[in-house]
Amino acid sequence: MSNTSKRRPLAVIADHDAASVSRMRLAIEDLGFRVEEVENGVMACAAFVEHEPDIMILNAQLPIQDGLKTCADIRRLPGGDAAAIVVLSERDDVEIVDAAYSAGATEFVPMPVNWPAFGYRIRSMLRASGDYASMRRTEATNKVLLNAMPDTFVVLDSDGAVSDFIPGKLEHPLAGPSQRVTCLSDILPTKAIKVWREARRFVNEKNQATRVEFAVEHREGVPSYYEARFVPYVDRKTLALVTEITDRKLAEQRIRRLAFFDTLTGLPNRQSFRLQLGGMITEADEEGDKVAVLYIDLDNFKRINDTLGHTVGDGVINAIAERLSGSIRGGQGSSDDDTPFGLARLGGDEFACAISGFEDEGVLSSIADRMSQLLRQPVRYEGHEFVVTPSIGISVYPDDADNVEDLLKNADVAMYQAKDAGRDSVHFYSDTLAIRNLHGLALENDLRRALDNGELELHYQPKFQLSTWELVGVEALVRWRQGDGSYIPPSTFIPMAEKSGQIVPLGDWVLRTACKQAREWQLKYGRSTRVAVNISSQQFYQSDLKETVMKALFEAGAKPSLLQLELTESILMRDIDKTIATLEYLKNNGITLAMDDFGTGYSSLSYLRRFPIDALKIDRSFVMDLEESEHGAAICAAIIAMSRQLGLTVIAEGVETEEQVMFLQSHDCDQIQGYLFSKPIPAGEFAKRFLTTTKAPLKIDKSL
């Protein structure tokens, strides 16, 4: 009989409270254990060494040395790393639970103990702990025990062959019930066999338990995941306990994906990009390398979303993400796995790419150029065709910033500079005054202050009739004057003002100032120069534009014919009926309406027919392309021809060369505007150059 009692697993209880110990002894004996009792932490360690128990139960509040310290000490003893240790405590707050698990407890159980639940926990813990000391004794009795458990057991010979296989009741079993298993290749794929061999070697050499995770594909492409715990067994054999962890693994993967990957494109997100960048910086420090961040923003992407909806927008973003990945693979910064190294979607239409180990900045330029070229190819999606160009900002560690956050921020600043330079371009970060200003700005507050303090200014750019070279109008463009006399361009602060809602007061100010200016010029020079004011879509929808416009004209004493509004296609696409009503009201009151940046917003000319528009401005990007590509020329010619048919005035913006003028002239374009004649300039200068002469000023600005 004593033999039988010896074979029963052993529990050591360390507790100083006699009443609690006797209750526990009864419960644990009921579970089939023998029990040894000790009173304090030091004795608990000694009992562990002496008895090699199957389980240690420690009260956290032990005398001499508390239960947590005892737990940590046992973990450091031979065989202690695989021991099953339960910590009991009267406290169950987060700190003590954390402390218990940090000390290496296998389980934490609050007191008073719920004994039936405790029994289950101990049984499952014993299985999972991997310490099958009690099973080392005879294989035959063990087999009975093992058979009763749901997990799969594999006994490996000292030479690695499978000497016993107990299939268990896994959801995705490693072998069928009648399958003979003699070697690992009967149950495992090659990759897992390698991991198992290493684990078995470790157990044999160190006489210690270990655990590994592995995957098996049962059905085409769908893996199940398992955990195997390896423990030393009789006769230099190794016992592997296999538990299925597919659910846990999938949950982990899902959480990881959500936390670190962008759900739309599957690319790493901002969070994981930061981590990756941090890692690259650390490595670069060791190697004396540099790390560059390319900040990529799609020009005018918002319009695709606004005009065609998010589903189309998402489709385009996906196509762009694929192209970007393609542009990096095979170039600098590539990696051997499928995820392009260092590429991430930061949100919306913003991407970033981190590159290290490059020779010089020329390499970065050519990578950025390659990206631009690839992105510029038309994207076809659901019968639509889009041309999406990127603006790319580049900053380099350690030259431009010495940490992840600043590196990203400066690449972003450089990207804005690229946009200012006319979009579709690449810009390296440089610490110029304007950028420094941008940096330090808490832009939102500063913009409010700018409005109050009169830091905003309008500059004016002339428009000419192409057939007669007469001045026919002027566009008002807002500028933010800085203390040092430099200006922040509208592309930097208008989008922000739109987001914060400040576009409404800002737009009011622009309208009032422009109307007053037009009236003042009329009175002073006797010439009616129609002033065009840009209206953003937020302004159109967030305020009563009709009232604002009429009030501005009234205050200035100006006739409505002195004012033109420049609208973008995104305005027209939103609430069509309301838009038409507002536009008709304005038009009936004598204000002219022009469609700005035409061709970038994907609305067709025939669609425009529904709106009471007077004029159409061909987007600068097409005018720029006139000489470069047949495509550009064809688009300009088509826009001009069709506007003719619709009875619209056509204005070409961004005219910079005489060749462009000749092309536009030969195609009968009505009006032109561009740096070739004048940049936007302050009101005084404008009057001096263009209003004091009565003759048509066909003077090309040679300084540009």
426 binds, among Mg ion, ligand C2E, none (CB under 5 to 8 A by kind): none
Which tokens go with 360? 């010089």
Residue numbers 618-657 binding Mg ion by CB under 5 A: 653
Q: What is the largest CA-CA distance in the chain?
A: 124
Which tokens go with 281? 């910086």
∠347-351-356 over CA atoms, to 5°?
A: 135
Q: Decide: 392 and 296 in contact? Cβ < 8 Å.
A: yes
Residue 299 sits in the site that holds Mg ion (CB under 5 A): no
Say how many Å lie between the first and final Cα of the chain, rounded. Answer: 106
569 binds, among Mg ion, ligand C2E, none (CB under 5 to 8 A by kind): none
Extended beta strands in 316-375, E state: 343-347, 350-356
Minimum CB–partner distance for residue 492 and ligand C2E (Å): 9
> Which single residue is written with the structure tokens 């949100």?
347
Minimum CB–partner distance for residue 275 and ligand C2E (Å): 36
Minimum CB–partner distance for residue 365 and ligand C2E (Å): 20
510 binds, among Mg ion, ligand C2E, none (CB under 5 to 8 A by kind): ligand C2E
**CB-nearer residue toward Mg ion: 349 or 597:** 597
Minimum CB–partner distance for residue 462 and Mg ion (Å): 13
Compute how many other C-beta atoms are within 10 angstroms of the C-beta atom of residue 323. 18
Q: What is the dihedral of CA 366, 369, 370, 374, to 10 degrees?
A: 180
> Which single residue is written with the structure tokens 């304005």?
586
| Beta partners for residue 85, in sequence order | 56
Give, to the nearest 10 degrees, the angle between helix 576-588 and helix 545-556: 20
Q: Decide: 316 and 309 in contact? Cβ < 8 Å.
A: no
C-alpha 162/C-alpha 382 separation (Å) is 57
151 binds, among Mg ion, ligand C2E, none (CB under 5 to 8 A by kind): none
Minimum CB–partner distance for residue 616 and Mg ion (Å): 11
**CB-nearer residue toward Mg ion: 184 or 466:** 466
Minimum CB–partner distance for residue 704 and Mg ion (Å): 18
388 binds, among Mg ion, ligand C2E, none (CB under 5 to 8 A by kind): none
Using DSSP bridges, classify how beta strands 530-534 and 471-481 pair: parallel, antiparallel or unpaired: parallel
Q: Decide: 493 and 531 in contact? Cβ < 8 Å.
A: no
**CB-nearer residue toward Mg ion: 151 or 566:** 566
**CB-nearer residue toward ligand C2E: 146 or 531:** 531
Q: Decide: 517 and 511 in contact? Cβ < 8 Å.
A: no
Residue 596 sits in the site that holds Mg ion (CB under 5 A): yes
**CB-nearer residue toward ligand C2E: 53 or 462:** 462
Helix residue ranges, H only, 8-156? 18-30, 41-51, 67-76, 94-102, 115-129, 139-147
Distance of CA 263 to the CA centre of its chain: 9
The footprint of ligand C2E (CB under 6 A) covers 422, 461, 477-478, 489-491, 494, 507, 510, 534-536, 566, 596-597, 620, 653-656, 674-675, 680
Helix, strand and coil content of the chain, in percent to the nearest 5, comes to: 45, 20, 30
478 binds, among Mg ion, ligand C2E, none (CB under 5 to 8 A by kind): ligand C2E
**CB-nearer residue toward ligand C2E: 412 or 596:** 596
Minimum CB–partner distance for residue 645 and ligand C2E (Å): 24
**CB-nearer residue toward ligand C2E: 344 or 535:** 535
Interface stretch with Mg ion, choices 229-237, 253-261, 361-369, 595-603 (CB under 5 A) = 595-603
Minimum CB–partner distance for residue 662 and ligand C2E (Å): 16
**CB-nearer residue toward ligand C2E: 400 or 597:** 597
Minimum CB–partner distance for residue 541 and ligand C2E (Å): 13
**CB-nearer residue toward ligand C2E: 54 or 625:** 625
**CB-nearer residue toward Mg ion: 516 or 617:** 617
Minimum CB–partner distance for residue 597 and Mg ion (Å): 4
DSSP 132-189: -GGGGS-HHHHHHHHHTSSSEEEEE-TTS-EEEEE-TT-SS-SS-TT----SGGGTS-
C-alpha 55/C-alpha 88 separation (Å) is 13
411 binds, among ligand C2E, Mg ion, none (CB under 5 to 8 A by kind): none
Interface stretch with Mg ion, choices 17-25, 335-343, 384-392, 590-598 (CB under 5 A) = 590-598
Minimum CB–partner distance for residue 680 and ligand C2E (Å): 5
Annotate 476-510 with b (16+ C-beta within 10 A) or e (fewer). Answer: bbbbbbbeeeebbbbebbbbebbebebbbbbbbbb
C-alpha 419/C-alpha 367 separation (Å) is 18
Amino acid at 506: L
**CB-nearer residue toward Mg ion: 349 or 569:** 569
Residue 569 sits in the site that holds Mg ion (CB under 5 A): no
680 binds, among ligand C2E, Mg ion, none (CB under 5 to 8 A by kind): ligand C2E
**CB-nearer residue toward ligand C2E: 228 or 477:** 477
Q: Which of 262, 306, 412, 597 binds Mg ion (CB under 5 A)?
A: 597
Minimum CB–partner distance for residue 638 and ligand C2E (Å): 20
Minimum CB–partner distance for residue 247 and ligand C2E (Å): 53
Cα–Cα distances in angstroms (integers) from residue 348 to residues 29, 99, 305, 310, 317, in the given order: 62, 42, 10, 11, 9
**CB-nearer residue toward Mg ion: 510 or 691:** 510
Residue numbers 205-264 binding Mg ion by CB under 5 A: none
Applying CB under 5 A, the site for Mg ion has a residue count of: 5
Which of helix, strand or coil describes residue 259? helix
Interface stretch with Mg ion, choices 4-12, 122-130, 173-181, 589-597 (CB under 5 A) = 589-597
Q: Decide: 368 and 338 in contact? Cβ < 8 Å.
A: no
Q: Decide: 586 and 565 in contact? Cβ < 8 Å.
A: yes
Minimum CB–partner distance for residue 223 and Mg ion (Å): 54
422 binds, among Mg ion, ligand C2E, none (CB under 5 to 8 A by kind): ligand C2E
Residue 566 sits in the site that holds Mg ion (CB under 5 A): yes
Residue numbers 529-548 binding Mg ion by CB under 5 A: 534
**CB-nearer residue toward ligand C2E: 107 or 596:** 596
- Residues near Mg ion (CB under 5 A): 534, 566, 596-597, 653
